[in-house]
């Protein structure tokens, strides 16, 4: 991973990248390739993307092997992929996924980086007309079990009227970070329990943009709001990232790992 030939940009320079629907391995590989780009270029990229097929993404350290009914998932047209980041299972279907890849100063805590990115998300959602707050639960976050990610908010995750709207996770590697997460358009997260082999109660309904707005916004609305937030709070000179064949060639190489059952069902 990493693109040593990428010219280094001015510190703090931001780019916006919107990519078309892709399968799970491709989406995870593009994020990882962007992480390598941040390591070599010093740029920050805010990516917004969708999924070509309904896909259940598993957290990096989540126990998943033997917990899901793969035949039922296959009959419903649901794929699986394991993320490079932590957390619990998310169904990517009626949602938009964002990622931020950026240099990570050695003295910046995970919480500080998380809050820095949250500030952009909060402003963008407010622009759409959705006031959100960072969760501050009284108890520790649940471990990486097979339970759905949106069952409850972890500290710092964004909520609307007390219910989780944005689920996020972060990974750091060699001086850069990747944070990605889901912004729910509509609610189908409770269907995850129907894929589990062990009987599990359906979680409380999360918040969705449809709940908050009375309609489902289109990708362009969300990307415009995010872009405005980046330019207002992070980099007034931010520009779009043009399609980069080198980046996508690297992502294709990385995607082989995310297609490998040895990675997906590693635990």
User: What positions carry a catalytic annotation?
Assistant: 149
Taking the alpha carbons at both ends of the chain, their separation in whole angstroms is: 23
The three-class DSSP label of residue 72 is helix
| Nearest one of 24, 33, 78, 27 to 48, comparing CA atoms | 27
| CB-neighbour burial class of residue 178 (10 A; exposed 0-12, middle 13-18, buried 19+) | buried
Distance CA 79, CA 57 (A): 8
Q: How many Å is the Cα radius of gyration of the chain?
A: 18
Distance CA 189, CA 149 (A): 8
Distance CA 55, CA 23 (A): 8
For the record, the structure tokens of 114 come out as 């998380």
CA angle 260, 151, 86 (to 5 degrees): 35
């Amino acid at each position: 991973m990493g693109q040593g030939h990428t010219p280094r940009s001015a510190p703090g320079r931001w780019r916006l990248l919107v990519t078309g629907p892709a399968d799970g391995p491709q989406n995870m590989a593009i994020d990882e390739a962007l992480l390598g780009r941040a390591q070599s270029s010093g740029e920050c990229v805010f990516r917004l993307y969708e999924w070509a097929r309904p896909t259940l993404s598993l957290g990096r350290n989540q126990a998943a092997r033997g917990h899901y009914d793969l035949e039922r998932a296959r009959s419903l047209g649901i794929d699986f992929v394991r993320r490079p980041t932590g957390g619990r299972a998310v169904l990517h279907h009626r949602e938009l996924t964002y990622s931020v890849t950026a240099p990570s100063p050695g003295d910046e805590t995970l919480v500080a980086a998380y809050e820095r990115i949250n500030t952009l998300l909060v402003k963008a959602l407010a622009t759409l007309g959705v006031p959100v707050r960072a969760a501050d639960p009284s108890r520790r976050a649940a471990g990486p079990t097979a339970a759905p990610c949106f069952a409850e908010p972890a500290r710092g995750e964004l909520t609307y009227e007390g219910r989780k709207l944005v689920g996020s996770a972060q990974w750091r590697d060699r001086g850069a970070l990747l944070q990605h997460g889901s912004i729910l358009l509509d609610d189908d997260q409770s269907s995850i329990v129907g894929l589990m082999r062990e009987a599990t109660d359906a979680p409380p309904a999360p918040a969705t943009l449809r709940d908050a707005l009375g309609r489902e916004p289109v990708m362009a609305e969300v990307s415009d709001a995010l872009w405005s937030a980046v330019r207002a709070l992070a980099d007034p000179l931010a520009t779009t990232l043009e399609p980069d064949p080198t980046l996508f060639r690297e992502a294709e190489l990385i995607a082989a790992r995310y297609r490998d059952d040895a990675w997906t069902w590693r635990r």
